[in-house]
Structure 1
Amino acid sequence: MKNTLVIYVHGKGGNADEAEHYKKLFADCDVVGFDYKSETPWDFKNKFFSWAEEKFSEYKSVILVANSIGAYFSMNAISQIDAETDDTNGKNEITAKINRAFFISPIVNMEKMICNMMTWTGVTEAQLEEKKIVSTNFGENLSWEYLTYVRKNPIQWKIPTEILYGENDNLTLLETVSEFARANNANLTVMSGGEHWFHTDEQMKFLDGWIEGRLNETK
């Protein structure tokens, strides 16, 4: 059995090929991207578990690297898979292999994000419940099914986690990500001037240094 697998979960509009960037940072590990097209957390969970069940069996441990909504989807999937297990330890034997996580600009409170989008659009809960789907002028559909799912399936996160957040993130407030970090004993790093999408040379250099620094601390 191999030692460590690093899985990369991209954000909205991204792709599994982005995992290539992380190969040089995790040189002693196998690095693969999880390729998904899911638009909902429940669809992602099903596809992730089927993939992980086969892939994780080859390795002793797994490191999760996830970006933006990919972090939320991953946390939801792992939380729900663990909640559904019959194991007395409350951990599924597959997801139990994930012993560390690196989140880049994670969506950590999906309910708050949906409610913010409702406020921006001027839609009440009663209206969303009646219409089920409401389109917005910023390209995202509001879904009553999605909102109720998020509320019924809160995140239960116990994996040691490092979080990288851009000071100018326009999707998640620093207060929100800080609250998540405190509640889940995660380490939070804030890049001054950083954005939600880490993509410039300066931002990627900072991201690389953040991962390398955290890895060196545990050697």
Structure 2
Amino acid sequence: MSSLNKRKIEIGNIPAILWGDTSDKIYIFVHGKGSNKESAHKFAIIAVEKGYQVLSFDLPEHGERKNEEYKCNVFNGVQELKIIWSYVEKNWKSINLVGCSLGAYFSLIAYKDCSIGKCLFQSPIVNMEHLIGKMFKWFKVTEELLREKREIATPIDILSWDYYCYVKQHPIIKWNVPTSIIYGTKDNLQSPSVIEDFVKRFKSKLTISVNSEHDFHTSKAEEEVIQWLNKYI
């Protein structure tokens, strides 16, 4: 494709990009931590060629929203994914999903009761309690200390007692969407057993990328992602 049609829009106060020519089928693209709506570009090239449109948007504290005093936490993230869903549901017949890392986690909570055609997850956080437990070990934090302090800053993110309680009270127990996952063997945020448990429980398709890290940053890893997308979009 020589050029990719894209249009900047706002959904409520959420900056978004609509990629591709008019179609009755679409992918909602939910980026991960530290990314933005523009990161959907490579995905959109492939999806648009296959007849889909793609809607990507900036999560709180990301992209055009970096300076907002509105936290990118599970409470705000899930609420905004529901706003995006309401917009998409009114305008497209066939709705599909792609989520990266934290974006996958928000999606699993926000969209568990939604009618989604198919789903692709790259390096998904499927068990946030597991990840927070890892952070406890990495940064020598205990549950008791977090309860006392309420918030503890770490080099990765701020650990929050309210967030931790929400995560413990909302495990991922429902997901009825045909799902394909790509996961790197050097992903240090979710252990292989956690991913395998999710795949088994929800009958997902798993593609293992040997020696790839969470962010799939090498050219070889990026090429594996492209091959995976071409196969499952």
Partner of 2:39: 18
**Equivalent residue for 1:69, pick from 98, 102, 105:** 102
* 2:83 counterpart of 1:50: yes
Distance across 2 between alignment mates of 1:205 and 1:125: 40
One-letter code of the match for 2:101? S
Q: Provide Cα deviations, 1:148-188, integer angstroms capped at 9, x if missing partner.
A: 00111222211110000011112111111111111111111
8 Å CA contact 2:88, 2:95 repeated in 1: no
Distance across 2 between alignment mates of 1:53 and 1:63: 14
The aligned length equals 199
Partner of 2:111: 78
Partner of 1:36: 59
8 Å CA contact 2:23, 2:52 repeated in 1: no
Offset at residue 214 of structure 1 (A): 2.6
Between the aligned residues of both structures, percent identity stands at 34
8 Å CA contact 2:151, 2:161 repeated in 1: yes
Distance across 2 between alignment mates of 1:71 and 1:34: 14
8 Å CA contact 1:113, 1:171 repeated in 2: yes
Q: Provide Cα deviations, 1:40-70, integer angstroms capped at 9, x if missing partner.
A: 1111111111222122211111111111111
Could you say what secondary structure the match of 1:25 adopts? helix
Distance across 2 between alignment mates of 1:119 and 1:203: 28
Distance across 2 between alignment mates of 1:141 and 1:23: 32
Partner of 2:166: 149
Distance across 2 between alignment mates of 1:165 and 1:117: 20
Distance across 2 between alignment mates of 1:51 and 1:24: 21
Partner of 1:204: 222
Offset at residue 3 of structure 1 (A): 2.2
Unaligned segments of structure 1, at least 5 residues: 83-94
Unaligned segments of structure 2, at least 5 residues: 1-21, 61-70
**Equivalent residue for 2:132, pick from 103, 114, 127:** 114
One-letter code of the match for 1:17? E
Q: TM-score, normalised by structure 1?
A: 0.85
Offset at residue 2 of structure 1 (A): 4.3
One-letter code of the match for 1:6? Y
8 Å CA contact 1:9, 1:65 repeated in 2: yes
One-letter code of the match for 1:18? S
Greater helix proportion: 1
One-letter code of the match for 2:117? N
8 Å CA contact 2:121, 2:180 repeated in 1: yes
Q: TM-score, normalised by structure 2?
A: 0.80
